[in-house]
Chain A
Amino acid sequence: MTYIADTGFILARWSKSPARRRWAYRYLENGSLPFVTAEAALIEAGFRLDKPELAPRLLADGDYVASLRIADYSEDLLWLLHKYADRRMDLVDACIVKLFELLPDAIILTTDVKDFSIYRTRSGGRLRCDFGPD
């Protein structure tokens, strides 16, 4: 099984919420590594955690692979950002939706229920997500 990790999942390992930590540990202890993500998500997680080393460390250790080059899909990302401008979709969310379009059998690991239950693929398909506990 392929898992696409959003920022919320990457950070969940350091969450103050025990339920969220357990959710992350369940995947991190016995998941199908590496998790697929976008560089933007890893960089955002590093900023939120105030650890600039986070992104290169997670990539070097093979926990995550950054599978989306923004330059390769700039038109699609702009289309998504425009479509969901009213929800103030950010670049990370657009990258995660695009990754799902590229890997339609994958499951998105995210904590962002509010937005990811609204987003659709460009062809109108629902996203398959595990939102974890609040």
Chain B
Amino acid sequence: MPQRIYPIRLSRQDRLLFGRAAKAQKKTIAQFLREAGRKHAGNVKRRAACLDYPDWPLSEEAERDKDYLVRKFKGQK
């Protein structure tokens, strides 16, 4: 899996805080921050990106008719 390195500056207090917490959980600071970040990211409400996609036209038939795809494929033959 491709990885990127993000160097971060920590204040002395944060380094001590994270370092102690990580040590208590037998983790490195990097592991501790990664897990905390994942947990926090999962709870963040954000706006879906598709709201910024173009307003592509969608016919009522394409939206509502279950057999639309069957007809579309048959029509392409």
A residues sitting closer than 8 Å to B (CB atoms) are 8, 11, 13-16, 25, 28-33, 44, 47-51, 57-58, 61-63, 88, 90, 111-112
Contacts and interface: CB of A to CB of B under 8 A. Distances in A.
18 contacts: A13-B50, A14-B56, A14-B57, A15-B58, A16-B60, A25-B51, A29-B48, A31-B45, A31-B48, A44-B69, A51-B56, A57-B50, A58-B50, A62-B49, A63-B48, A63-B49, A90-B66, A112-B66
B53 interface: yes
A48 B58 contact: yes
Contacts, number: 62
Interface of B: 45-51, 53, 55-60, 62-64, 66, 68-69, 72
A111 B60 CA distance: 13
Contact of B68 (A29, A48, A51): A48
A30 B25 CA distance: 34
